[in-house]
Amino acid sequence: MKATGLVIAGGLDHSFVTRMPALVRALGPVKGASLRVARRIVNTLRAGFAVADYAALEPCSLIWIAVPESMLDQVAQDLAARTPLEGKMIVLCGSTRESTWPGPLRAVRASVASLNVIDGTLVAEGDARTIRELGRLAAAERLKLIELQPGSKPLFFVGIHLATHLLLPWIAAAVESLRAAGFSRAEATLAVENMGARSLRAYAKAGRKAWSPAAAPELHRALENSRSLDPELAAMYAEGIRQALRYFEKNPGHQAANPGGV
């Protein structure tokens, strides 16, 4: 790997970078929030050497930035002010920013890419040369690298949030509905897990065809019968029906009927 520098803040436990042995072995200068912090990081990693100033990163052709989102603007500004960056490869680690964000790194013509990790897979976008370097790293780490389409990183995060934060209320509502019907917590959780896994497998196999338009009448019957039992849950369920039918109706080959409305 090329001469490699690291700018890091927020703690080792919060950065996937420090859990990548091939990267760690290649480390040279490490810039932390202070020289003391940098020394502690270097001692923990048993790699690289602590530096007090961004100028010490000048010999590096590859620089990793692993800092909290709230610090990124200031770190990028300070790095660009203290180190010639034109043509250097910069990797933004774990950031929601795309490589094209109009910050100081682009102003000095650095070759920027962003890198995130999901379930042990590296997800990157940005400058082609930097992406190739990330591909070599992924191969050394025996990890898969997925390159995002230009400008699509917001969709990457939408997918993640739909599968995590935004899915959780529906999981909770499903479990709590079964519990209210007489299931134990363990029984309800297991049932929801199994049904969710089957739905995911069906979608993996058939895509949107896994959705059955014939399900709409059954969905509405359950809605009408549940309104008096739990109005709050029924309202959430009604919104779920509305969103599901609207989403799958986008596919002209599989338009779902919406009898009676929600």
Partners of 50 in beta bridges: 30
Domain 4-152, CATH homologous superfamily name and number = NAD(P)-binding Rossmann-like Domain (3.40.50.720)
CB atoms within 10 A of CB 16: 15
Please answer whether residues 216 and 258 qualify as being in contact, where contact means their C-beta atoms are separated by less than 8 angstroms: yes
Count of residues making up the chain? 262
Helix, strand, coil percent values for the chain (each to nearest 5): 55, 15, 30
Residue 123: half-sphere exposure toward Cβ, Cα within 13 Å: 21
User: Do the Cβ atoms of 216 and 153 come closer than 8 Å?
Assistant: no
Q: How far, in Å, CA of 78 to CA of 125, rounded?
A: 23
**Do 134 and 145 meet the contact criterion of CB atoms below 8 Å apart?**
yes
Per-residue burial over 147-159, b if 16 or more Cβ lie within 10 Å, else e, is ebeeeebeebeee
In a structure prediction context, what are the per-residue pLDDT tens digits for the chain, which is 262 residues long? 678 999 999 877 778 888 899 999 999 999 999 999 999 999 999 999 999 999 999 999 999 999 999 999 999 999 999 999 999 999 999 999 999 998 899 899 999 999 999 998 999 999 999 999 999 999 999 999 999 999 999 999 999 999 999 999 999 999 999 999 999 999 999 999 999 999 999 999 999 899 988 888 889 888 888 888 888 888 999 999 999 988 887 654 444 333 333 3
Q: Which of 144, 148, 79 is nearest to 110 (CA)?
A: 79
Q: Domain ranges in the chain?
A: 4-152, 163-254
Alpha carbons 112 and 217: distance in angstroms, whole number: 51
Summary count for the chain: helices (H), strands (E): 10, 8
